[in-house]
Amino acid sequence: MRPYQLSQIQTPDFSLVGYSVAGEESVIIVPELDVCFDIGKCPREALAVNHVLLSHGHADHAAGLTYYFAQRDFQDIACGTCLAPADLVPPLVELMQAWGRVEGHVPPYDFVPMRDGEDFELRRGLLARPFAVRHAQPALGYSIIDVRQKLKEQFIGLSGPEIVELKKQGVEITNRVEVPLIAYLGDTAKSDFRRLPHVANAKVLLLECTFFDPDHIARARAGKHVHVMDLPEMLDGMNNERIVLIHVTRRTHMGQAQRILKKTLPKETLEKITFFMSREHIEEE
């Protein structure tokens, strides 16, 4: 029996830790940003993260929510926060109440209803921005955005005291600059994300690509998932430094998937792509 193993990818800005196989489990933890995209079955590593960003309610993405809140309570960790599509919050509250009747105690929980384009401040200068995706039920993707204040060009070169004096006079001396760090699409049908700068320009794009078999295009369309043949159109015009393919079905052999990608995408795009569950990113125990 093989042990449960998480994939781990290190980027210059943060690390990705988790597991993502279609129909089994999807959970991607970004410790440095204090977020977890979906919760899967809630591996122990997810308990230390204070924000769960739930894309939709399918069990392979959401089953561990009750465990997440209950275990944090059991371990005397402050209540975490789950951002979720607004339509899912009432049934999620009912789920926690039902679990409380099973366990004999309702653990503390915090659900924040999210809608397309409504920012949530994770901490000062760091935002989670939900965006609509096309899936079989209410679903959202999320971008994590670093918000910075950049000195306006006309004030560059001024001394410290001069800057202080301008502030005292109420002069706005900085511009707000958004730097999208990571975008998570969750489960989605083929869509044009170039229209969303915080997705198109994210340093890292977590992109579902469930199906690779040519015979599974109809299956992808029926379930509102991405097929490898959708990638050329979806990635054209995207400016991501790294693209991590997630949610691949277990029916797919990684070697075959790599060969199909080489025939499907241009070299400059291929060089950006990594499979999240690739053997090279799984730490042997």
Asked if residue 5 belongs to a domain, the reply is no
The answer as to whether 162 is a domain residue is yes
Q: What is the pLDDT of residue 157?
A: 75
Residue 23 lies in a domain: yes
Helix (H) or strand (E) holding 113: strand 111-114
CB atoms within 10 A of CB 172: 10
Supply angle C-alpha 96, 144, 239, rounded to 5.
Answer: 140
Domain for residue 184, yes or no? Answer: yes
Residue 80 belongs to a domain with what CATH number?
A: 3.60.15.10
Q: Tens-of-pLDDT digits for all 285 residues of the chain?
A: 666 789 999 999 999 999 999 999 999 999 999 999 999 999 999 999 999 999 999 999 999 999 999 999 999 999 999 999 999 999 999 999 999 999 999 999 999 999 999 999 999 999 999 999 999 888 999 999 999 877 777 777 778 787 777 788 787 877 889 999 999 999 999 999 999 999 999 999 999 999 998 888 899 999 999 999 999 999 999 999 999 999 998 888 888 888 999 999 999 999 999 999 866 665 544
Q: What is the four-CA torsion angle of 111, 10, 241, 192, rounded to 10 degrees?
A: -30
Asked whether residue 283 is assigned to any structural domain, the reply reads no
| Confidence at residue 2, expressed as pLDDT on a 0 to 100 scale | 61
Q: Is residue 43 part of a domain?
A: yes
Please say whether the beta carbons of 211 and 219 come within 8 A: yes
Residue 69, judged by CB atoms within 10 A of its CB (0-12, 13-18, 19+), counts as: buried
Q: Is 62 a member of any domain?
A: yes
C-alpha to C-alpha distance for 203 and 190, rounded to whole angstroms: 20
Residue 217 CB-density burial (10 A; 0-12 exposed, 13-18 middle, 19+ buried): middle
Phi, psi at 18, each rounded to 5°:
165, -155
How many structural domains compose the chain?
A: 1
- 63: containing domain: 15-278
Domain-embedded: residue 1: no
